[in-house]
Amino acid sequence: MWQIDQVTLRLFIAVCEEGTIARAAEREFIAPSAVSKRLADLEALVDVALLSRSQRGVRATAAGEALLRHARLIMRGHERMQAELSQYAAGARGTCACWRTYRRWSSFCPRPCPNS
Amino acid sequence: MWQIDQVTLRLFIAVCEEGTIARAAEREFIAPSAVSKRLADLEALVDVALLSRSQRGVRATAAGEALLRHARLIMRGHERMQAELSQYAAGARGTCACWRTYRRWSSFCPRPCPNS
DNA sequence: CGACCTTACGTTCTACGTAAACATA
DNA sequence: TATGTTTACGTAGAACGTAAGGTCG
């Protein structure tokens, strides 16, 4: 891992909300070991402890809570992005006939295209 | 690809800014074919044409410009997140001695830990 | 003992680069 | 012909799951 990806961000949010890696893994349909490894890699990447482990679960450290706030903002940004794009996909905005028919720009697409 | 990752977002921003896939690939140190494939997968995912291709380069469609705006916001969120985390990594905020020394929580860490 | 986290390890699958093909000014 | 995009394909590396190990209440 060379940069924080939003798969890890979503897993981290789930872990903080569920309180244990095991429950977060179940909620996200992934093995607990995979979650554990992603979290360890994340902590190695940012070089800061994000979770305080115990036998009853995990808890975010101060740095972990800071990351949690940013992660939620970023995920909200993703939701907004996908919401707007789905409007285009539905044809409500600016998708021309050639794309709706062929799912790609082709010579059949009249130029100048309304989206270009 | 099952969801938009920020590697693709950064590549998309580069493509829009450079005007051609080739120059964006050079700027991001990746092969043009890899960029092309990521963009095609992205368009298949959102089911909307994002770029208008030609032999002189590419141009964002209306949907592509919408995505570009969101992508820049998200990347800015990432930058802010990493900036705050690097403050913790530098030890300026809330990192206790045990982590700075051993790079992990250990039994040496006094409890209650200031970060827990 | 039960619940949880972690490590080891084999495997699957994603994402890359190379090379070739295609299109247009 | 030069420039740019796309497709085919083989491969390296990332990420997953299973299984085993370890800790603590």
pLDDT at B96: 58
Q: What is the pLDDT of residues B29-87, one digit of tens each?
A: 999 999 999 999 999 999 999 999 988 999 999 999 999 999 999 999 999 999 999 99
Q: What is the pTM of this model?
A: 0.87
pLDDT at A112: 42
Task: Write out chain A residues lying below 8 Å of B68, CB-based.
Answer: none
Q: Cα–Cα–Cα angle for B35, B68, A3, nearest 5°?
A: 60
The whole-angstrom distance between A15's CA and the closest CA on chain B is: 15
How many Å from the CA of B86 to C1' of C4?
Answer: 30
Residue B45 Cβ under 7 A from any strand C atom: no
Contact by Cβ (8 Å): B66, B60: no
Task: Select B6-83's CATH number: 1.10.1040.10, 1.10.10.10, 3.40.50.10420, 3.30.420.40.
Answer: 1.10.10.10
User: What is d(CA B80, CA B78) in angstroms, rounded to the nearest whole number?
Assistant: 5
How many Å from the CA of A106 to C1' of D20?
Answer: 56
Positions on chain C within 7 A of a protein C-beta: 2-8, 14-20, 23-25
Contact by Cβ (8 Å): B81, A74: yes
User: What is d(CA A46, CA A43) in angstroms, rounded to the nearest whole number?
Assistant: 5
